[in-house]
Amino acid sequence: MKQPTKWLDAALIALGLKQAAWADDVSDFQETLQAAEQGNAKAQYNLGVMYDKGLGVRQDYAQAVQWYRRAAEQGYAGAQFNLGVMYDSGQGVRQDYAEAVQWFLKAAEQGHVKAQHSLGLMYANGRGVRQDYAEAVQWYRRAAEQGNAQAQNNLGVMYENGQGVRQDYTQAVQWYRNAAEQGHVQAQHNLGGMYANGRGVRQDDAQAVQWYRNAAEQGNADAQFNLGVMYANGRGVRQDDAQAVQWYRNAAEQGNADAQFNLGVMYANGRGVRQDDAQAVQWYRNAAEQGNAEAQVNLGGMYANGQGVRQDYAEAVQWFLKAAEQGYAQAQYNLGVMYANGLGVRQDDAQAVQWYRRAAEQGDAQAQYNLGVMYANGQGVRQDDAQAVQWYRRAAEQGVAAAQTGLGWMYANGLGVRQDYAQAVQWYRRAAEQGHAQAQVLLGVMYENGQGVRQDYAQAAQWYRRAKEQGAAEA
Distances (CA, A) of 437 to 196, 451, 463, 470, 475: 44, 19, 9, 7, 9
Q: Which residues neighbour 17 within 8 Å (Cβ) at sequence distance 6 or greater?
A: 49, 53
Rounded (5°) CA angle 176-180-185: 105
Please say if the pLDDT value at position 447 is more than 80. Answer: yes
pLDDT for the residue 115: 98
- CB within 8 Å of 13: residues ≥ 6 apart: none
169: exposed, middle or buried (C-beta count within 10 Å: 0-12, 13-18, 19+)?
Answer: middle
Q: Where are the beta strands (DSSP E) in 155-208?
A: none
* CA pair distance 103, 93, nearest whole angstrom: 14
Give me the mean pLDDT over the 299-308 stretch. Answer: 98
* pLDDT confidence of residue 16: 34
- Summarised one tens digit per residue, pLDDT across range 161-196 is 999 999 999 999 999 999 999 999 999 999 999 999
Are the CB atoms for 262 and 248 separated by under 8 Å? yes
What is the chain's mean pLDDT, rounded?
Answer: 94
Q: Where are the alpha helices (DSSP H) in 91-148?
A: 97-109, 113-125, 133-144
Confidence band for 215, pLDDT divided at 50, 70 and 90:
very high
- Evaluate if residue 214 carries a pLDDT over 90: yes
Say which residue, 243 or 33, is predicted with more confidence.
243
Length of the chain measured in residues: 475
- pLDDT on residue 475: 64
User: What does the pLDDT average to over 6-18?
Assistant: 31
Which distant-in-sequence residues (6+ apart) come within 8 Å of 340 by Cβ? Answer: 347, 349, 352, 370, 379
Q: How far apart are CA 51 and CA 137, in angstroms?
A: 34
CA distance 230 to 207: 11
Confidence of residue 27 (pLDDT cuts 50, 70, 90): low
pLDDT of residue 423: 98
Q: What is the mean pLDDT of residues 377-384?
A: 98
Of the candidate ranges 17-26, 79-88, 138-147, the one whose mean pLDDT is the lowest: 17-26
pLDDT tens sequence across 73-89: 999 999 999 999 999 99
* Helix ranges (DSSP H) in 325-436: 329-341, 349-360, 365-377, 385-396, 401-413, 421-432
**Residue 119, pLDDT above cutoff 80:** yes
pLDDT above 90 for 111: yes
CA 443 to chain centre: 46
- Identify the residue with better confidence: 430 or 5: 430
Handedness of CA 193, 197, 200, 202 (dihedral sign): positive
**Residue closest to 314 by CA, chosen among 352, 295, 281, 342:** 342
Does residue 315 have a pLDDT over 90? Answer: yes
Distance CA 428, CA 410 (A): 11
109: Cβ contacts below 8 Å, ≥ 6 apart? none
Give the mean pLDDT of 410-436: 98
pLDDT band at 15 (very low <50, low <70, confident <90, very high): very low
Mean pLDDT of 87-108: 98
* 241 touches 270 (CB < 8 A): no
Helix, strand, coil percentages in the chain from 3-state DSSP, rounded to 5: 70, 0, 30
Distance CA 156, CA 11 (A): 19
**Arithmetic mean of pLDDT, 37-54:** 94
pLDDT at 258: 98
Identity at 121, one-letter amino acid code: L
Q: What is the DSSP letter of 214?
A: H
- Rounded Cα distance between 413 and 345, Å, is 36
Rounded to an integer, the average pLDDT of 425-443 is: 97
In 21-132, which ranges are continuous DSSP H helix?
26-37, 41-53, 61-72, 77-89, 97-109, 113-125
Q: Of 179-193, 317-331, 461-475, which range is least confident? A: 461-475
**Average pLDDT of the segment spanning 303-316:** 98
Q: Are 188 and 220 in contact (CB under 8 A)?
A: yes
Average pLDDT over residues 339-348: 98
Secondary structure E strands in 159-310: none
Rounded-to-integer distance, Cα 24 and Cα 20, Å: 8
**Residues 331/362, Cβ–Cβ less than 8 Å:** no
